Structures are given as C-alpha cells and as structure tokens.
Amino acid sequence: MNSSDPPGATQRWRLDLAYDGQAFSGFAYQPHHDTVVGALRETLATTLRLDRQPVIIGAGRTDSGVHAFNQVVHVDLPVATKVRSLEAERLRSSLNKQLRGRVQILRAEPVGDDFHARFSALWREYRYLVLETSEPGLNTTNTWAWSVDGPLDIKEMNRAAKAVLGTHDFRAFCRRPANASADDPLLRRVISARWERLEDAWVMSPRHAPALRLTIRAQSFCHNMVRCLVSTMVAVGQGKLPSSTVDERLQNLSRHQLPQPAPAGGLALIAVGYERDSPHPIGRQSHSGSIG
C-alpha cells in the first residue's frame, strides 16, 4: 500500500463484458441465483483475495435469457490489494481464466471516480433477431433468435418502427415497475430503430430460414420494452395488425390485446455509448441514422 493512500482508498475500474444470457438468471445480483453480477463479484473477490465481494454497477440490466455482446460495468476495488500491481491486461486475463468463458471480459481499464457505468451512458443499443419460417419445427432456435411464421412485410414493420423515434410514453410496451402506479409515465427517448434483412440466410437443416434484425438505440429502455415492440412489429409484418398500431398505442397507452413479449433469446445488448469513447464502439459499426 502506498503511504499516500488513505485507509480504504479505492480505484474505480471499467469492465466491458460479453455473455450468453441462457447461462444465467439475469444480469443483476440475486442471492441464491446464478447471475452475471454474482459471477463477477465472486470471481473478483477470489482473484484479488478481497475480504468481501465488491459492488458492481452496470449500464443496464438484462433479463434471464437476454445476451450481451458489449455490456459495461464499473467496480471500486481497494488499492490495498494486489490490484495496484496489476496492469489492465493482466487483470482482464486473470478474470477470464477464472470465469472460464461464462462471461468474457472484453476490456478492463482504470477510470476516474466521475465515470459511472449507468449514469454516464449516453445511449444503449440492442438488436433482436427473427427467423422467418414457412413451416413449423424451428422453435428450438429461440436460444439466439425467434422463429416466426412468414413471410414478413419488412416495409410495414419499418413504418411501425418509425413511430417510436423521439420521446414517448412507453407504458403500452413496458412492464410497470413494482413501485409505480398506472398513472406514472414511462418516458423514453429512442434515437434510431430499423429492421433489415440479413444477407446470409441462417442454415437450419434441411432448409434456409431468412433472418431479420431490429437494431434500436435509445437513451434508456424500460423493462420488456424491446421485446414488446418486437412482438407487435412482427404481428404487423404478418398482417395481423396495421402498421399504425405502434403509433396508436403510444398515444392511448393501452396494451389491451397486444401480443405477448417476444422471447428473450432473440435479444442482445450490443453497445453502450459514452462521451469518452470513440463514435463507434470497438469492434463494430453502429447505426445512428433514422429508419430508411
């Protein structure tokens, strides 16, 4: 311990993560449940020989079954431990060895105390994968994508998606928080949302299943927001609902007779934006424009 460090001094670290949501009971810590934060807390405490498991703050919470290709967390680690002598790459490597692929640490770096994984984030971006099928038998793919009856009209789905741009009350498309009343608004600002067909069809033996992807970026999301929007937009693409449905429900705030949320497995958190980062997160290009 450096003599200039006061007792209890800590260093804040930023960790960028990826994980398969099927392996966990969600992201947030829950006693007696296997969660992403629980695995990280235990691994950090073991690797750094901490007296207690540290508190971990994430950019957002993902439900059970929802994946992440770039989740961001921060954690304050006591400088009195061997973390002082660890370089960022050594810490990343040590944690990945202990986590054994259940969670992958993409980046580890010390940051200032003013960095907050949740409150410093400017936006979050999710993607949802849908497989367009013409016959039953592919529902086992719901681990990573949702198999639905096709064909889907992507133009109508994008007309529906265009309605979410801007700031709206998403009560019709979100699960109400436990401490909120029915009259409390759920205001969220959506920056971009777009459906597109992927060039490569997913090969699902013995046939090909065309894949569609929704990419949606918002300042923040409420619980089940993307999955509820996806199920409604898919119903629009199937011709079961008019493309005006999303706009109408954003106005009247009613969830009556809307489809159930889409399965969790098709959803993944793919990027979190911070002012200190480059315009495009490491390893990917981000769609920042509006719907075409």
pLDDT tier at 182 (50, 70, 90 boundaries)? confident
- The answer to whether residue 56 scores a pLDDT higher than 60 is yes
Whose CA is closest to 57, among 24, 108, 13?
Answer: 13
User: In degrees, to the nearest 5, what angle opens at C-alpha 45 toward C-alphas 42 and 48?
Assistant: 140
pLDDT in tens, 234-289: 999 999 999 999 999 999 999 999 999 999 999 999 999 999 775 544 334 333 33
Q: Which domains, ranges and CATH numbers included, belong to the chain? A: 10-111 (3.30.70.580), 122-274 (3.30.70.660)
Which backbone phi and psi does 125 adopt, to 5 degrees? -130, 130
In this prediction, residue 291 carries a pLDDT of 31
Q: Is 16 a catalytic residue?
A: no
How many Cβ atoms are within 10 Å of 156's Cβ, its own excluded? 19
Give the DSSP letter string of 157-194: HHHHHHTTSEEEE-GGGSPPPTT--TTS--EEEEEEEE
Residues 6+ apart with CB under 8 A from 188: 167, 168, 170, 218, 219, 220, 221, 222, 225
Kindly compute the dihedral angle of the four CA atoms of residues 40, 56, 274, 99, in this order, to the nearest 10 degrees.
0
- Considering the candidates 34, 63, 169, 184, report the single residue annotated as catalytic: 63
Q: How confident is the model at residue 35 (pLDDT cuts 50, 70, 90)?
A: very high
Interval 209-214 mean pLDDT: 89
The whole-angstrom separation of Cα 81 and Cα 181 is: 45
pLDDT of 179 over the 90 cut: no
Half-sphere exposure of 218 (CA within 13 A, CB side): 22
Task: State pTM to two decimals.
Answer: 0.87
The token duo for 192 is: 């971009």
pLDDT digits (tens, 9 = 90+) for 83-136: 555 688 888 999 999 999 999 999 999 999 999 999 999 999 999 999 988 665
Q: pLDDT tens digit string along 215-233?
A: 999 999 999 999 999 999 9
Q: Give the 3-state secondary structure of residue 161.
A: helix
Residue with tokens 């493309």: 243
- Is the pLDDT at 213 greater than 60, yes or no? yes
Which amino acid belongs to residue 259? P
